[in-house]
């Protein structure tokens, strides 16, 4: 799978914390992406989280345990 190419988006700069404006900014950015770009971004973040878990020793392979 090839890496997604994202266009540069503006940076939100606020003098004071404004959660509502931050959320609106994020949603506007996400709405500007195509469905494919959103999925590619999601898969990239999933791989990143998996790598961090493995690096920290928290990710183990699934095991099948038979109880008798």
Residue 60 pLDDT exceeds 80: no
Tell me: the pLDDT tens digits for 2-40?
Answer: 554 555 557 888 899 999 999 999 899 889 999 999 999
Residues 6+ apart with CB under 8 A from 28: none
User: pTM above the 0.75 mark?
Assistant: no
Alpha-carbon gap, residue 19 to 3, rounded angstroms = 30
């Amino acid at each position: 799978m090839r890496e997604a190419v994202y266009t540069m988006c503006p940076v939100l700069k606020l003098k004071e914390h404004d959660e509502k404006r931050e959320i609106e900014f994020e949603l506007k950015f996400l709405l500007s992406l195509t469905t494919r770009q959103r999925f590619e971004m999601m898969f990239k973040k999933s791989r990143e989280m998996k790598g961090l878990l493995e690096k920290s020793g928290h990710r183990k392979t699934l095991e099948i345990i038979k109880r008798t």
